[in-house]
Every structure is written in C-alpha cells, then in structure tokens.
Structure 1
Amino acid sequence: MDDGIMLVVVALGALALGAVLAWLLAGGRKGQGGADTDLLARLYVLVEQETAAARTEAAHQRTHLSELERVMTGRIEQVRTELAERLAGMAGSMGREQAEVRAAQAEALREMAETSARQLSAIRVAVTDQLHEAVERQMQTSFQRVLEQFSAMQKAMGEVRAMTAQISDLKRLFGNVKTRGGWGEAQLKAILDDVLPEGSYESNVRLGPGNDVVEFAIRMPVRSSTPPVLPVDSKFPTEAYERLLNAVDEGDAVGEKAARKSLESTLRMEARKIATKYIHPPRTVEFAVLYLPTDGLYAEAARIPGLIDEVGRTCRVDFDIMWLAVRHQPFGPCVQ
C-alpha cells in the first residue's frame, strides 16, 4: 500500500513538473532565450533524480514489505501451528477428563446399584421372614378356628340329630288327636301347679247338665261356701297351624292367607264350644280360658286382627292364662 502511495506522489510530481516545463517553454518562445532552457534542463535532471530516488525508495519499500509479509506469514503459520497443537492438547485433555468423569460416574453408579441391591435383598429377606411368620400365625389361627368350627359343627350336627329325633317324636305325638290333647293338658297342669297355690283347682270337672267335662276348674278366691270356678281348657289345632307354618316357609302368600283364615275359624269354633259347654253361672264365673300350648300358636292367634278381643267380647273366652299368676291370691285375709 505504501508503494502505491509513493507511485502516486511521483506521478503527481511529474505532472506538476511537466506543467511547469510547458509553461516555461511557452514563455521561452516569447523571447527569454537560452537562460530558461538551461533552467529547464536542470529542472529536468532534478526531476529525473527525484524520480529515480522515488523508484529506488519504492523498490526498497517493496522489498521491506515482502520481507514483512514473509515474516508475518511465518508468524501466522507458527501461531496456527501452536493453536492447533494447543487445541489438540486441550481436546486430548478434555477427552481424558471426560473419560475419567465417565469412569467415575460408572463406578459411582455401580456402587449405587450394588448398595441398592444389598438393601433390596435385606428388605426382601425381612419381608419374606415377616410374611412367613404372619402366614404361619394366620394358618395356625385359621386352623384353630377351623377346628373350633368343626367341633361346633359336630356339636350342632349332634343337636340337629337330637332335635330331628325330638321332632319325629313330636310328629308321632301330635299325629293322634287324643295324644295331642293329653300333651296340652299336661303342659297346662304344669303351669297351674307353677302359678297357683296347692288345692286351687280341680281336674276333669263336669260343670253343665250334660256329660261335658272341662280339663281344669280353678276355684276363685272369694269368701263363699261354694266359690265359683274358672273353666280352663287346652286346645291345639295342629293341622291349621302346620299349614300356616308351611305356607310361611314356602313364601306362599295365598296359602298363608288361607291357612291363617282356617286357624282363625278353628279358634273361634273352639271358643264357642267352651262358652257353650263350660260357662254356667253361678257354678262358674262368667268367662272361661282357652289355653294354647305353644308360644308360636299364641303369637299367630295374636297376629290375627281383632280375634282375641272379639272372642273375649262375644264368647267371653280369654286366650291368656298367665294373668292368673298375678290375680289369683291364696285364700285368707289377703283376698280383696
């Protein structure tokens, strides 16, 4: 670039010198003569000398610039080589560091995996032991419970067999009307013995003008030489009651309704018979008791709407015997 500037300066100087020479030549033609010619010759020589000096300086500058370019090129190549070597060294160092980091990470991961495996193995062993103990306890408890249930089942089966035998006996007992009546009479006698003082009742008493005999006649606790008696007779309408129970067990609503109606009719009929046969004031009080031997039968009678009240009102017959335990008092000064 300095060489180009120098050439431009030389060219400008030459142009200026040419302009001066042209001006002087033009003036010399008008009459100055040989003096100006000598001056021009000297100026031309000076210009040539300056031009030669400028060319020499430009050549020197070009040489210097070439040397500088060569030196700079060498330095650049050296720097490039150093940078390449340094980068290669850095890449190698980074590669080694990365490899070391990867190896350290792999080792750490391996140690973590081994630690986790040991911990999991310990947990597995502990859980297995606990499960084994729990299973053993549960099995022992379950086995004990099974044994207890089996024992209870055997006991229940024995009770069922005994109950089956008793039911068979009861079926044979209730299959005969006379036997059924005797069972009800025996149960009623046991209740009377339980709730009444000794000598408070008589058995199989003829009350009316006919041959009808009431099962029990309870002497009422009143002050009289011939106290009136309360007729008590037991009835057990087994057929109607069994039809009702079977219909209930089978879920037969129509059969249940018909059986309940049949039971109601039977109880009303028996109450009318007791009223007709056994209520004869003043030999008796003005009402009687129809005893139903089982709680289930009495409960079914009580479930029939209005039956007990209506029978008590129209026939003067009561189905409940237990009021005697409260109302009946021993003979003597306690009688009110």
Structure 2
Amino acid sequence: MKRILLTGVDGQLGQELQRTLAPLGEVKGVGRQTLDLTSSDRICQTIAEIKPDLIVNAAAYTAVDKSETESELAHLINGVAPTMMAAEQARNGGALIHVSTDYVFDGSKNTPYTEEDAPNPLGVYGKSKLAGEEGIQKTSQDLQSVMGEFRYVILRTAWVYGTYGKTNFVKTMLRLGADREEIRVVADQVGTPTWAYDIANAIAILGQQLISEPATVPSGIYNFTNSGVASWYDFAIAIFEEAQQLGMTLKVQRVVPITTSEYPTPATRPAYSVLAGQKTAAALGSHSSHWRQGLRKMLTELYSN
C-alpha cells in the first residue's frame, strides 16, 4: 500500500484531500499541532519516519494581510518548509505535490496567466509562496545529477472556498447576508472562484499519476481552477442567488459594487488573476467545471449538513 503524507490536514482543502486521497493508499495527515512547519528538523524527521511515496503539501500561511507584518513567519512556512520537503522527499525517492497561488502574479495582464508567465508578486504572501515554488524547482535541479529525477507538481490555484474550515468568502457572505440588508463588495478584482473539493479531486488524479505513471505528468508548474471568470461582486451575487434557491433565509436586499480603493487592505491584491488551465486539463484528461457549478454543489452540501 502506498503511503501519503498530507500536510495542512485541518484546512478547508486538507479536509477534502482526506477524502480524495484515501483510495490511493494510507494517508497520514498532519496539522500544525503535529508538525511545526517552522522547524526544518521536524519536517525532515517526519518524512524520514513515514517514508511517503507522495507528499501533498496543502499547508500554508494564508493570512494575506497579516503576512505584511509577519513576513518572517510567512516565509518560513510558505518558502523554507516546501523547500525542505522537496530536499528530504528527493532523498526518500518519493514525489511531491505542492499547492501554490495566483498571488505570485501582479495582475497587470488582461488575459489568463499561463504556467510560463513571469511571476511578480505584489505582497509578502505572494513573495513567500513564490519562494516555495523556486525552492522546490532549485532543489530538483541541484539534486538531479546525484539522485536522479525528482517528481513534483506545483499546483497553482485561486479564490479557494469550501464546505470545511472556519471561514472563507462564501461563508462570510452568508453570515453577512443573514444580518445585513446592504453589503458592499469589491467589483474591480477579477479571478475564478474555485471549490476546494474540485482542487482535491484534481490533486488525487495527479498524485495517482505521479506514483504509478510519472511519465504522464512531467514535473513542473500546473494551474488549476474552476472555469469561468468573476469579480468578487459577481461571486457575492451568485452566492446569494444560489443560497436563496436552496431555501436559505437571508436578510440582504442590496449588493453594492465598490472599487478596491474604497476597501483598502494592508496587502495589495492582483486586479486580475485568472489562470489558464489547458496544461492541467491535458494531464487530467478533462476540463474543470464552471465555478458556478462548484458553488452550487458546495452550498447544497453545506445546506444539507
């Protein structure tokens, strides 16, 4: 039976991954209580003990605004930890899937970002995630002559929400929509809302291929989101429409579009962060579903619970 080490097991993506990775083998899930990602020694020790065939690193420092004042912690978790995982897993002879983000881009394009586009993160969070990507790639290059090819996938995704976890944009909108008649939402940031389950399912397929058919998934960067494009305002409108169709009681009457400048935050967000998914679709054998379909399924699951 294959052994899989899953980090970030308690997060909204990690909890979905527990379900989708289970058919692949024995999943050992670790969270912040059991694996301190600021400790390189603990990372190496854990990998050496488990000897996983596959590591799925779904753990991250994701407090985008807070990272502006906690840059060292963000860099340790998002930059140093994945690099250490790659080095130790290369020695172990296994594969790695590392989850990254659209925030490695500055949002200056108006067409979807491909895996070949040059990153240019705007804030500490994006810079720390880019450091993790670069650390994995450099580790692979440095060790190739000594240990052979290191199999890895860096999976960039965006605007993640899910049934699990304490908070995300969907849950925040539902909470506000139950309490307020009017909600103001940013309308000039554009991306693709992506359901955590769909990401977890894609990771499971890529993980199976990395373990059993590595030639079908060349190591490198892959983009995965649901399909379609939306602003945060569009997303909020859709959340309330779908929720009401499911019978949820909401107080909200008006959703007002505002600009980013009207809702200042410590960290600057990319104005456009749509990711092109053709490369990943070819690896998976199918295109991802539309973001609204994912939203409907998530809300149905949430409402049924």
Bigger proportion of residues as helix: 1
Bigger proportion of residues as strand: 2
Q: TM-score range by the shorter chain?
A: under 0.3
Q: Greater relative contact order (Cα 8 A, min sep 6): structure 1 or 2? A: 2
